Structure 1
Amino acid sequence: MNPDASAVAVRVASATVRDPELAAAELARQLQHEHLGCVLFFCSVEFDLEKLGPALQAAFPQTRIYGCTSAGEITEQGYGRGCISALGFDARFFAIDCALISELERFTLQDAQQVIDGLLSTCREARLAPVKGNTFAITMLDGLSSREELVLATLNAALGTIPQFGGSAGDDERLADTHVFFDGRFHSAAATVMLVNTPLDFRVFSTHHMQAQDEKLVVTLACPESRTVYELNAEPAAEVYARTVGVPLAELDRGVFALHPLGVRVGGNHFVRSIQRVNPDGSLTFYCAVETGIVMVAMNPGSLLESVRTQIEASERVVGKPLVTLACDCFLRRLEAELTGQLDAVSEFLTEHRVVGFNTYGEQFNGMHINQTFTGVVIGQPECSIE
């Protein structure tokens, strides 16, 4: 037995130096070993992306690299800004393959089935573990594409019982240009889907801490394509929202949106629909799907830290001591933590439980596109090493 094998099953790394070549070299220094099979990273758009792509390829010449841009990073030291967070997966424990979806608007079920079948073939060829019960999918989408719902629903149909989670790429809250990384370069208006097969125990999860209130708001006029609501209860949407949350219309901003999102009830549970902005005409644009006729409710925050603690600790009871937790955490949750003075406490908890990942413009869970959630996978440690 090799006593060091489990120690490198998943390595985590981060780099804060802004020079692309130096940052890539720093990640390689922390992640590189003879059994490295795949690198997954999340980076700030403050990097020169045209130079960062080739630098990463040069630093990991024999390794497949995937990733996306972020609205904040989660490193081994907790929340980060303007940096790169990365994970390196040992090929002896993980069979991983990834595909790029470049035509989001024309992505069909047949396309999805071909993509998933191809990824499954790679997993089966590795012979690490049976597909059933040992495989999960990670999706990353352009966070400004407004096509998450279509792509995720289609992929979910092809995945069947394989659990899926992921996040929408960000751009440090600039809301201008978001990217996924595949085949050596960054892509806009695109998505990636990774299939991960492993003999290790894991649990895919999603949680939020928002509590639904009683007042109902009916969407009486909306444009689904732009995710814009013009009227709530037959009145200008922004006016109704401001009145509902008790904030003057002129003071609506991302802080108010973070603390007072709206939600919809689906299958007995409430899911958050976060507001992106107030438009000059008094309409509201959302990060998630909206359409005329849906009923929304105001939602107020419970305990952000306790919701994370409850979900992570429940997962750890299932998989045992965690090897790593890969998390997609909405950037509005991080903003809430900053506004309410919880940022350091949450960051410390994430560090203690070996959580890495990124802040997103939307989270993805089993075919759904959702907002203001903490979503991911907890992976348990190997029970024994391998030769």
Structure 2
Amino acid sequence: MDTGPVAKEDVAGPVAVQADRDAADLADRLLAGLRAADPGLVLVFGAAGEGLAKLGGDLQAALPPECVICGCSSAGEIGPCGYSSGSVVAIGFPRSSFRAEAIMLRNLATLPVSDWMAMLRRMHRNFGPDAARSQFGLLLVDGVAGQEDALVSTIEAALPAVPVLGGSAGDALDFRQTTLLVDGEVTSNAAVFLLVETDLAVSEVTFAHFSPTETRAVVTAAIPDKRRIVELNAEPAAEEYARIIGLAMQDLTPTEFARHPLLLRMGRRHHVRAISELTEDGGLSLMSSIDTGTVLTLGRSDDMTQGFAEALEALPRPPLMVLGFDCILRRLALERAGLMDTMSEMFTRYRVAGFNTYGEQHSGMHVNQTFVGVAFMPPFPEGEAHNAA
């Protein structure tokens, strides 16, 4: 992302607030912190179904009508004190520094690509971007519909000049149904796309804690539309996966999937094709697309905390806040390693807020087991150039 050279005194960044999901006065608790930000955009993570619908309505009734309110269910939350569960995190973006517009991209199952592209282009044209401000897109998408790969490719084709990042809505670890909110409507089988413009400096932050090993496996049978591997190396997929990681079938759990990811090489980089669960017929359900003939590499977990700190320290200046989309499999791996508190402390130190996802989107790709975020920083002084990663 590129940032414009805008100077501004006493810049206010986004504000993150959090409350128990089951609190009777949930909206009031969140509003107590949001009102101080005078938000033009509010993102809500953690509530689901009718609870998300009610919360959206309560917030809209109490905030200015022009405030854009969007959100989704999650597999966990990242709040002011780091990782949490059973809560709702709301992030208010001050309208003094942010402008946003949101649309719903419906019917993921049927992939109405032409309609989506027309909507996106019309939205961008009507939004009227200010060339002196930074612009980016945010994507919240149903995490069990299985269409993220096609969706992000469509958005990149429609809006090639707009950097887009986001996360797939979660459902704890149930993988059954996720929900999304925009314009007071809650639905599934859809995505929410936001265009956001700001006079703050912005920089994308991505971090994945894995590296490839020498072990490779060929997908010899797959069901692409279900993201399912049926066979690896001409053997039942789950059995062969268990063999190459050195475990018994009965010991395969989401935590072990996180520790032993399958990687797909694209260009010079490897990206995780994360496993969500075993299928009844001995296959592997993935959280990203897969095809027969794909060569996968077994990955190994690297340092999950030091590398993350280095990525944040590499920012050109300390962030006012980092909006984060963090894969649930990363959180499970951290939990097993006893590093949850360490990572939560880092999230607090660098002012990270967001949610645990079923997948992440950036650079025109859908990935897994990755942290994807956007850091908001004070504007750079007039004449100081900066090219964000």
For 2:57, give the aligned amino acid. Answer: P
1:38 equivalent to 2:30? Answer no
Point out 4+ residue stretches in structure 1 off by more than 4 angstroms: none
Are 1:347 and 2:355 an aligned pair?
Answer: no
Q: Report the equivalent of 1:52.
A: 55
1:330 equivalent among 302, 320, 327: 327
**In structure 1, what is the equivalent of residue 111 of structure 2?**
106
Q: Report the more deviating stretch, 27-36 or 255-264.
A: 27-36
Cα distance in structure 2, aligned partners of 1:347 and 1:35: 27
How far residue 113 of structure 1 moved from its aligned partner, in angstroms, is: 4.2
**CA contact 2:49–2:186 (8 Å) conserved in 1:** no
Identify the residue that residue 276 of structure 1 maps to in structure 2.
276
Task: Summarize the alignment of residues 1-387 of structure 1 with structure 2, pairs less than 5 Å apart.
Answer: 6-7=11-12, 9-16=13-20, 18-19=22-23, 22-33=25-36, 35-45=38-48, 48-62=51-65, 63-104=67-108, 105-109=110-114, 111-124=116-129, 127=130, 129-130=131-132, 134-314=134-314, 316-317=315-316, 320-382=317-379
CA distance in 1, matches of 2:54, 2:251: 40
Shift of 1:103: 2.0
Q: 1:36 Cα shift? A: 2.1
Measure, in 2, the Cα distance between the counterparts of 1:38 and 1:196: 9
Q: 1:199, CA displacement in angstroms?
A: 1.9
Alignment-mate amino acid for residue 306 of structure 1 = Q
Work out the CA distance in 2 between the residues paired with 1:205 and 1:109: 31
Distance 1:113 1:203, change over 3 A: farther
Inter-partner Cα distance in structure 1 for 2:111 and 2:276: 25
Q: Give the conservation status (yes or no) of the 8 Å contact 2:326–2:371.
A: yes
8 Å Cα contact 2:47-2:74 kept in structure 1: yes
Preserved contact between residue 95 and residue 123 of structure 1 (Cα < 8 Å): no
Q: Give the whole-Å Cα distance in 1 for the aligned partners of 2:304 and 2:125.
A: 36
Cα-to-partner distance string for 1:224-269 (whole Å, 9 max, x where unaligned): 1111100011111011100011110111111111111101000111
Which secondary structure does the structure 1 equivalent of 2:213 belong to?
A: strand
Residue type of the alignment partner of 1:91: R
For structure 1, which runs of at least 5 residues remain unmatched after alignment? none
Contact 1:109 1:158 in 2 (8 A): no
Alignment partners' CA distance in 2, 1:192 and 1:121: 17
Note the C-alpha offset of 1:279.
Answer: 1.4
Contact 1:260/1:300, CA 8 A, preserved across alignment: yes
| CA distance in 2 between partners of 1:83 and 1:16 (Å) | 4
Structure 2 counterpart SS, 1:144: coil
Seen in structure 2, the aligned counterparts of structure 1 residues 5 and 98 have a Cα distance that, compared at 3 Å, is: farther
Count of aligned residue pairs for this structure pair = 372
Deviates more, 1:98-107 or 1:191-200: 98-107
State the distance in 2 between where 1:324 and 1:229 align: 39
Tell which has more relative contact order, 1 or 2 (C-alpha 8 A, sep 6+): 2
Please tell me whether the aligned partners of residues 216 and 295 of structure 2 are also in contact (alpha carbons under 8 angstroms): yes
Shift, 1:291, TM fit: 0.9
What RMSD, in angstroms, separates the aligned Cα atoms of the two structures?
Answer: 2.0
